[in-house]
Protein backbone atom coordinates (compact mmCIF):
# COMPACT_ATOMS: atom_id res chain seq x y z
CA UNK A 1 0.00 0.00 0.00
CA UNK A 2 1.19 3.48 -0.87
CA UNK A 3 -0.17 6.84 0.28
CA UNK A 4 0.70 10.16 -1.36
CA UNK A 5 0.46 13.10 1.03
CA UNK A 6 0.32 16.64 -0.37
CA UNK A 7 0.55 20.02 1.34
CA UNK A 8 -0.16 23.26 -0.54
CA UNK A 9 -0.63 26.87 0.57
CA UNK A 10 -1.08 30.19 -1.27
CA UNK A 11 -0.88 33.14 1.10
CA UNK A 12 0.96 36.07 -0.49
CA UNK A 13 -2.06 37.24 -2.54
CA UNK A 14 -3.66 38.45 0.70
CA UNK A 15 -2.96 41.69 2.54
CA UNK A 16 -0.74 40.77 5.56
CA UNK A 17 -3.35 42.17 7.99
CA UNK A 18 -6.04 40.00 6.42
CA UNK A 19 -3.78 36.94 6.59
CA UNK A 20 -3.01 37.65 10.25
CA UNK A 21 -6.73 37.88 11.02
CA UNK A 22 -7.45 34.56 9.35
CA UNK A 23 -4.63 32.80 11.17
CA UNK A 24 -5.60 34.34 14.51
CA UNK A 25 -9.11 32.95 14.14
CA UNK A 26 -7.69 29.46 13.68
CA UNK A 27 -6.09 29.63 17.12
CA UNK A 28 -9.27 30.41 19.06
CA UNK A 29 -12.35 32.38 18.13
CA UNK A 30 -12.73 33.68 21.71
CA UNK A 31 -9.18 35.04 21.85
CA UNK A 32 -9.47 36.43 18.33
CA UNK A 33 -12.63 38.33 19.32
CA UNK A 34 -10.50 40.39 21.72
CA UNK A 35 -7.75 41.03 19.20
CA UNK A 36 -5.31 38.31 20.23
CA UNK A 37 -3.45 37.64 16.98
CA UNK A 38 -0.85 34.88 16.75
CA UNK A 39 2.04 37.41 16.91
CA UNK A 40 0.44 39.01 20.00
CA UNK A 41 0.19 35.64 21.76
CA UNK A 42 3.69 34.79 20.56
CA UNK A 43 4.97 38.00 22.12
CA UNK A 44 3.27 37.18 25.44
CA UNK A 45 4.80 33.70 25.48
CA UNK A 46 8.21 35.04 24.52
CA UNK A 47 8.33 37.76 27.17
CA UNK A 48 7.20 35.36 29.89
CA UNK A 49 9.75 32.74 28.78
CA UNK A 50 12.68 35.18 28.68
CA UNK A 51 11.90 36.58 32.12
CA UNK A 52 11.15 33.28 33.85
CA UNK A 53 14.35 31.58 32.67
CA UNK A 54 16.61 34.65 32.47
CA UNK A 55 17.21 34.07 28.76
CA UNK A 56 18.76 37.10 27.00
CA UNK A 57 16.91 38.69 24.10
CA UNK A 58 20.06 38.14 22.04
CA UNK A 59 19.08 34.44 21.95
CA UNK A 60 16.13 35.40 19.74
CA UNK A 61 18.57 37.03 17.31
CA UNK A 62 20.87 34.00 17.36
CA UNK A 63 18.07 31.66 16.26
CA UNK A 64 17.24 33.94 13.33
CA UNK A 65 20.88 34.27 12.29
CA UNK A 66 21.42 30.49 12.39
CA UNK A 67 18.29 29.71 10.43
CA UNK A 68 18.91 32.36 7.78
CA UNK A 69 22.42 30.97 7.35
CA UNK A 70 20.94 27.50 6.86
CA UNK A 71 18.39 28.95 4.44
CA UNK A 72 21.21 30.42 2.37
CA UNK A 73 22.31 26.82 1.70
CA UNK A 74 18.82 25.69 0.66
CA UNK A 75 17.85 26.41 -2.98
CA UNK A 76 14.16 25.99 -2.07
CA UNK A 77 14.16 28.46 0.83
CA UNK A 78 12.03 31.62 0.80
CA UNK A 79 15.02 33.62 2.09
CA UNK A 80 18.50 32.63 0.89
CA UNK A 81 20.52 35.53 2.30
CA UNK A 82 22.24 35.57 5.71
CA UNK A 83 21.23 38.34 8.12
CA UNK A 84 23.07 40.32 10.80
CA UNK A 85 22.32 41.45 14.34
CA UNK A 86 22.13 45.02 13.06
CA UNK A 87 19.42 44.10 10.54
CA UNK A 88 17.40 42.42 13.28
CA UNK A 89 17.77 45.34 15.69
CA UNK A 90 16.71 47.82 13.00
CA UNK A 91 13.66 45.81 11.92
CA UNK A 92 10.19 46.97 13.06
CA UNK A 93 8.68 45.79 16.33
CA UNK A 94 5.83 43.32 15.70
CA UNK A 95 4.76 42.26 19.21
CA UNK A 96 7.13 43.04 22.07
CA UNK A 97 9.78 41.67 22.24
CA UNK A 98 9.41 40.14 18.76
CA UNK A 99 10.73 42.11 15.80
CA UNK A 100 10.15 41.36 12.13
CA UNK A 101 13.25 39.17 11.86
CA UNK A 102 12.08 37.12 14.84
CA UNK A 103 8.94 36.09 12.92
CA UNK A 104 8.41 33.65 10.06
CA UNK A 105 7.26 35.19 6.78
CA UNK A 106 3.98 34.83 4.93
CA UNK A 107 4.91 32.27 2.27
CA UNK A 108 3.57 30.26 -0.63
CA UNK A 109 4.72 26.68 -0.98
CA UNK A 110 4.00 23.03 -1.56
CA UNK A 111 5.49 19.69 -0.55
CA UNK A 112 4.70 16.02 -1.06
CA UNK A 113 5.66 12.70 0.54
CA UNK A 114 5.02 9.15 -0.59
CA UNK A 115 4.57 6.65 2.26
CA UNK A 116 4.70 2.91 1.65
CA UNK A 117 4.70 -0.34 3.60
CA UNK A 118 7.64 -1.47 1.48
CA UNK A 119 11.21 -1.15 2.69
CA UNK A 120 12.69 2.22 1.80
CA UNK A 121 15.62 4.49 2.40
CA UNK A 122 13.86 6.16 5.36
CA UNK A 123 11.51 4.61 7.94
CA UNK A 124 8.86 6.34 10.08
CA UNK A 125 9.49 4.75 13.47
CA UNK A 126 7.31 6.83 15.77
CA UNK A 127 4.74 9.59 15.94
CA UNK A 128 2.71 11.36 18.58
CA UNK A 129 0.00 13.97 19.02
CA UNK A 130 -0.53 16.36 21.92
CA UNK A 131 -3.26 18.84 22.86
CA UNK A 132 -3.45 21.83 25.18
CA UNK A 133 -6.36 23.84 26.56
CA UNK A 134 -8.62 25.48 23.93
CA UNK A 135 -8.31 28.88 25.62
CA UNK A 136 -4.81 30.34 25.90
CA UNK A 137 -5.80 32.05 29.19
CA UNK A 138 -6.39 28.64 30.80
CA UNK A 139 -2.82 27.37 30.36
CA UNK A 140 -1.11 26.40 33.57
CA UNK A 141 2.28 27.61 32.33
CA UNK A 142 2.38 29.93 29.29
CA UNK A 143 6.15 29.42 28.95
CA UNK A 144 5.76 25.69 28.19
CA UNK A 145 4.11 23.87 25.31
CA UNK A 146 2.39 20.90 26.93
CA UNK A 147 1.08 19.65 23.59
CA UNK A 148 4.64 19.42 22.26
CA UNK A 149 5.86 17.58 25.36
CA UNK A 150 3.05 15.02 25.13
CA UNK A 151 3.52 14.48 21.38
CA UNK A 152 7.28 14.05 21.73
CA UNK A 153 6.94 11.62 24.65
CA UNK A 154 4.63 9.40 22.61
CA UNK A 155 6.71 9.61 19.43
CA UNK A 156 10.04 8.82 21.10
CA UNK A 157 8.51 5.98 23.11
CA UNK A 158 7.09 4.42 19.94
CA UNK A 159 10.42 4.83 18.13
CA UNK A 160 12.33 3.43 21.15
CA UNK A 161 14.56 6.47 20.88
CA UNK A 162 15.70 9.28 23.16
CA UNK A 163 16.08 12.91 22.07
CA UNK A 164 19.84 12.58 22.62
CA UNK A 165 19.91 10.05 19.78
CA UNK A 166 18.46 12.49 17.22
CA UNK A 167 20.91 14.04 14.73
CA UNK A 168 18.54 16.34 12.82
CA UNK A 169 15.32 18.06 13.87
CA UNK A 170 12.96 20.29 11.90
CA UNK A 171 11.07 22.17 14.55
CA UNK A 172 8.32 24.80 14.75
CA UNK A 173 9.90 28.27 14.75
CA UNK A 174 7.11 30.61 13.65
CA UNK A 175 8.75 32.90 16.20
CA UNK A 176 12.40 32.37 17.09
CA UNK A 177 11.63 31.87 20.78
CA UNK A 178 9.42 28.92 19.83
CA UNK A 179 12.43 27.02 18.51
CA UNK A 180 14.01 27.16 21.97
CA UNK A 181 10.80 26.33 23.84
CA UNK A 182 9.94 23.42 21.55
CA UNK A 183 13.45 21.98 21.84
CA UNK A 184 13.08 22.00 25.61
CA UNK A 185 9.58 20.54 25.62
CA UNK A 186 10.64 17.79 23.24
CA UNK A 187 13.23 16.77 25.81
CA UNK A 188 16.44 17.96 24.18
CA UNK A 189 17.18 20.41 27.02
CA UNK A 190 15.90 21.43 30.42
CA UNK A 191 13.61 24.49 30.51
CA UNK A 192 15.54 27.68 29.82
CA UNK A 193 18.73 25.90 28.73
CA UNK A 194 18.47 25.54 24.93
CA UNK A 195 19.98 28.96 24.30
CA UNK A 196 23.29 27.82 25.82
CA UNK A 197 23.57 25.08 23.18
CA UNK A 198 22.59 27.63 20.54
CA UNK A 199 25.32 30.11 21.47
CA UNK A 200 27.85 27.27 21.76
CA UNK A 201 27.04 26.38 18.11
CA UNK A 202 25.86 22.90 19.09
CA UNK A 203 22.62 23.41 17.13
CA UNK A 204 24.45 24.30 13.91
CA UNK A 205 24.86 21.96 10.97
CA UNK A 206 27.80 19.81 12.06
CA UNK A 207 26.94 20.27 15.76
CA UNK A 208 25.37 17.87 18.25
CA UNK A 209 21.98 18.16 16.53
CA UNK A 210 21.27 20.17 13.39
CA UNK A 211 18.18 22.24 14.19
CA UNK A 212 16.23 23.53 11.21
CA UNK A 213 18.95 22.73 8.70
CA UNK A 214 16.49 23.73 5.96
CA UNK A 215 16.32 27.27 7.35
CA UNK A 216 13.19 26.41 9.31
CA UNK A 217 9.96 28.31 9.02
CA UNK A 218 12.01 31.45 9.67
CA UNK A 219 14.00 31.27 6.40
CA UNK A 220 12.73 28.24 4.45
CA UNK A 221 9.26 29.77 4.76
CA UNK A 222 5.96 29.06 6.46
CA UNK A 223 3.24 28.10 3.97
CA UNK A 224 0.81 26.85 6.63
CA UNK A 225 -0.56 23.79 4.84
CA UNK A 226 2.85 22.62 3.61
CA UNK A 227 5.14 23.40 6.54
CA UNK A 228 5.21 19.97 8.20
CA UNK A 229 5.73 18.19 4.89
CA UNK A 230 8.52 20.64 4.05
CA UNK A 231 10.24 19.51 7.24
CA UNK A 232 9.67 15.89 6.24
CA UNK A 233 11.29 16.54 2.86
CA UNK A 234 14.28 18.07 4.62
CA UNK A 235 14.86 15.14 6.97
CA UNK A 236 14.47 12.71 4.05
CA UNK A 237 17.26 14.57 2.26
CA UNK A 238 19.36 14.54 5.44
CA UNK A 239 18.83 10.82 6.17
CA UNK A 240 19.66 9.87 2.58
CA UNK A 241 22.69 12.20 2.67
CA UNK A 242 21.35 14.22 -0.25
CA UNK A 243 21.20 17.62 1.49
CA UNK A 244 24.29 19.03 -0.21
CA UNK A 245 25.95 21.99 1.51
CA UNK A 246 23.62 21.74 4.51
CA UNK A 247 24.24 18.03 5.15
CA UNK A 248 24.51 16.93 8.78
CA UNK A 249 27.46 14.48 8.60
CA UNK A 250 26.16 11.84 11.03
CA UNK A 251 22.46 11.99 10.05
CA UNK A 252 20.84 8.67 10.97
CA UNK A 253 17.85 9.65 13.16
CA UNK A 254 15.66 12.71 12.62
CA UNK A 255 12.52 14.28 14.05
CA UNK A 256 9.91 16.65 12.64
CA UNK A 257 7.62 18.74 14.84
CA UNK A 258 4.62 20.75 13.71
CA UNK A 259 1.96 22.65 15.64
CA UNK A 260 -1.34 24.42 15.19
CA UNK A 261 -1.55 27.95 16.56
CA UNK A 262 0.48 28.65 19.71
CA UNK A 263 1.01 24.92 20.25
CA UNK A 264 -2.66 24.28 20.94
CA UNK A 265 -2.06 21.06 19.01
CA UNK A 266 1.29 19.47 18.28
CA UNK A 267 2.63 16.53 16.29
CA UNK A 268 6.05 14.89 16.41
CA UNK A 269 7.41 12.31 13.95
CA UNK A 270 10.61 10.28 14.24
CA UNK A 271 12.41 8.94 11.17
CA UNK A 272 15.43 6.67 10.80
CA UNK A 273 17.69 5.93 7.87
CA UNK A 274 17.34 2.47 6.34
pLDDT 10s digits, 223-247: 888 889 999 999 999 999 999 999 9
Could you give the C-alpha distances from 9 to 14, 153, 221, in angstroms and in order? 12, 29, 11
266 within 8 A of 121, measured Cβ to Cβ: no
Q: With 80 as the cut, is the pLDDT of residue 35 above it?
A: no
Cβ atoms of residues 213 and 238 within 8 Å: yes
CATH number for position 82: 3.40.47.10
Give the pLDDT confidence score for residue 106 in this predicted structure: 86
Work out how many domains the chain is built from and give that number. Answer: 1
pLDDT of residue 26: 62
What is the band of 90 on the pLDDT scale with cuts at 50, 70, 90? very high
Within 10 angstroms of residue 236's Cβ, the number of other Cβ atoms is 19
Which range of residues forms the domain containing residue 82?
A: 2-273
Spatial contact of 7 and 230, defined as CB atoms under 8 Å apart: yes
Query: Residue 174: which region, alpha, beta or left (left: phi > 0; alpha: psi -120 to 50)?
Result: alpha
Q: Is the pLDDT of residue 257 over 90?
A: yes
- Going by pLDDT thresholds of 50, 70 and 90, the confidence category of residue 52 is very high
Residues in Cβ contact with 120 at an 8 Å cutoff, skipping those fewer than 6 apart: none
Q: Give the mean pLDDT of 96-117.
A: 93
Rounded CA gap, 126 and 253, in Å?
Answer: 11
**pLDDT tens digits, residue range 128-141?**
999 998 888 888 89
Helix (H, G, I), strand (E, B) or coil at 119: coil
Q: Rounded CA gap, 174 and 37, in Å?
A: 13
The full length of the chain comes to 274
269: number of CA atoms within 13 Å, CB side?
A: 19
pLDDT of 274 reads 83
Percent of the chain's residues with pLDDT above 90: 77
Q: What is the pLDDT of residue 28?
A: 67
pLDDT at 11 over 70: yes
Supply the pLDDT for residue 27: 61
Q: pTM for the complete prediction?
A: 0.93
Amino acid sequence: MRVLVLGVEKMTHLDPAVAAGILGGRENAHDSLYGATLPALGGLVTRAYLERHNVPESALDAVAIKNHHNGSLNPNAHFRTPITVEQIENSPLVADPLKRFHCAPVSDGAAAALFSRDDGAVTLTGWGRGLDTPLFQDRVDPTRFRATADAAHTAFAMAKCEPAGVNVVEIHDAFTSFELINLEDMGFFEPGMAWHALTDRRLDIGGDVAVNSSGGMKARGHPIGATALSGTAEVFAQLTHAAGARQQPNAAVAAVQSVGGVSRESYVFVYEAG
